[in-house]
Amino acid sequence: MKKIFSASILVFSILFVATSCSDDFVETTFYQEKEAAPITSVEELTSFVYGTYGRMRAVSYYGRNFIAYGEVHTDEAYTTGASGRNVAWGNYAFTSLDGDVTNTWRDMYLTVANANVVINTQEAGLTWSESVDSNVIKEKARYLKGQAYAVRAQAFFDLLRLYGQKYSGGNLGVVLPLVYNPTTKMKRATIAETEAQIESDFANALLYMGSNATLQSDKPTVLNPISVKALMSRYYLYKGDYAKVRSYVADIKASGKYEVTPANTLVKSFATNENTNSVFEIAVGTASALSFDSYSNLVNSGGYKNIRVLPAVVSMYNSVTDPRFKLLNARYLDGKYPDKTGAGNIKMVRYEEVLLNGAEAELMGGSAATALEYHNMILQSRGQAPLVSTDINLVKAERTKELLGEGFRYWDLLRWGQTIPYYNTSGTPDPARNKTIPDQKLTFPIPQSETNVAGNLVESNPGYDN
């Protein structure tokens, strides 16, 4: 695990974090000596939490690549290969030396490393300018740790989906570093062990956050117990634990914190931050904008034009009454990703996704009436006639229409056990190159920079050069 923990060291030499709840996390820098000298204040701990959020917006993570991986090889979009982006992934030509493979692994584990610093900070002895009460300070520190647990759970989940062997025929998950240690070498956990760690981290997130409403921010850029449950609904839907999805979605709806964006403000909502449907966003801001490296620039007709929507998906919309049709321009996602500077917040969880998670879960052993309610909440807010009944195929289609371009479809097709279609860079299907589970190419290679170090314990994924 040399590279993972070498990457962990980099957290302290290049990490930029904030000392307040601003939308831009580039205010104060803690260098490597801060790790050598343990965190001593709530202010420093808060900075590391915001830095952990900041790690997630890297180009190779949620800033661009991870979302793009979820759109290429689907029944809703394909890569044009423009500007040389997504060429290797689009052709299933990834190797263990590929830059995207290596950088995504690195940035996900840097996120984990940052979270580990927060999680393993001792609560006793911390100071805080807002209180001298040790119990108040402890509760605040635990709330901050709860956020770190949630981010680590999400990062392990994302690593599992990309590098784990669930759909490639094996039983290996990913490496699970839980503490900062630049010398320890670790092997990969199994899929079951990885899932157990993800679930433990999510459970700890809720436990550490507790129920103190005074600590909970209403800003979607800061996780709270309800937004953690939204992330959990996504994870458990992927796992197929529909009872948990039903429970979490019911809690989120009952909170009354969010609403489906109405038709007349839908387009505007994608050009603005912190709307009433926003459950969780990663703050960006102009100082941290990814510009031409952003996902927005990748999918916009005024940018790289690298990911394009298939004609069959465009035909699913009522072009007159459905405002979602206005988000498309020449089959590019201009309306959903209008800011090519990449300065807008990354919309990690929208309430609409939560409701669709719930609708699907209710159809899997729950209440058909509740599934219909969730589905119609979206349809009626999109100016469409309500349904008198719904089914799994209608919900799957609604996921395409509502979540198009947001990086979900590839993972949806895999968890449903459906064929992964292949389209060339002109959007022409090539069924001979379709993939079905299990297939070795349905997992990414482990970076060679991770597997070729002396004493390495990390096993490669078969089917790639290492």
pLDDT, position 21: 38
Torsion angles phi and psi, residue 434, rounded to 5? -60, 160
Contact 185, 1 (CB under 8 A): yes
Rounded CA-CA distance 225/248 in Å is: 10
- Alpha helices, DSSP H, located in 120-182: 134-163
What is the mean predicted confidence (pLDDT) over 17-22? 36
- This prediction's pTM: 0.93
**How high is the mean pLDDT of the chain?**
92
| pLDDT over 50 (residue 23) | no
Among 24-28, 32-36, 298-302, 453-457, name the one with the lowest average pLDDT. Answer: 24-28
E strands, 98-223, in order = none
pLDDT, position 25: 34
pLDDT, position 185: 86
Q: What is the pLDDT of residues 64-93, one digit of tens each?
A: 999 999 999 999 999 999 999 999 999 999
Q: What is the pLDDT of residues 204-243, one digit of tens each?
A: 999 999 988 889 988 999 999 999 999 999 999 999 999 9
| pLDDT over 50 (residue 4) | no
| pLDDT over 60 (residue 8) | no
pLDDT, position 3: 47
Token pair recorded at residue 186 = 């670790």
| pLDDT over 90 (residue 18) | no
pLDDT, position 17: 37
Among 28-42, 279-293, 347-361, name the one with the lowest average pLDDT. Answer: 28-42
E strands, 291-338, in order = 307-309
pLDDT, position 213: 86
Torsion angles phi and psi, residue 23, rounded to 5? -80, -5
What is the mean predicted confidence (pLDDT) over 440-466? 90
Q: What is the pLDDT of residues 250-280, one digit of tens each?
A: 999 999 999 999 999 999 999 999 999 999 9
pLDDT, position 466: 53
- Whether the link from the prior residue into 438 is cis, omega within 30° of 0, is yes
| pLDDT over 50 (residue 119) | yes
- Percent of residues, the chain, with pLDDT higher than 70: 91
| pLDDT over 90 (residue 11) | no
Residue 144 belongs to a domain: yes
Residue 373 belongs to a domain: no
Name all contacts of 303-306 with Cβ < 8 Å and 24+ positions apart: 303/340, 304/82, 304/83, 304/85, 305/80, 305/82, 305/332, 306/68, 306/79, 306/80, 306/81, 306/82, 306/83, 306/85, 306/86
Supply the CATH number for residue 79's domain: 1.25.40.390
- 154: domain range? 1-215+421-466
Residue 111 belongs to a domain: yes
- Percent of residues, the chain, with pLDDT higher than 90: 87
How are beta strands 28-29 and 16-17 bridged, if at all?
Answer: antiparallel
Residue 114 belongs to a domain: yes
Contact 188, 175 (CB under 8 A): yes
pLDDT, position 37: 67
Token pair recorded at residue 13 = 């030499």
What is the mean predicted confidence (pLDDT) over 167-178? 97
Contact 370, 363 (CB under 8 A): no
Residue 446 belongs to a domain: yes
Q: Given pLDDT bands bounded at 50, 70 and 90, which one contains residue 12?
A: very low
Domain count, the chain: 1
pLDDT, position 197: 98
Residue 252 belongs to a domain: no
Rounded CA-CA distance 79/72 in Å is: 6
Rounded CA-CA distance 187/456 in Å is: 8
- The helix (H) or strand (E) run that includes residue 280 is strand 278-282
Residue 268 belongs to a domain: no
Residue 272 belongs to a domain: no
Residues 6+ apart with CB under 8 A from 332: 299, 300, 301, 305, 307, 308, 309
Contact 281, 346 (CB under 8 A): yes
pLDDT, position 455: 86
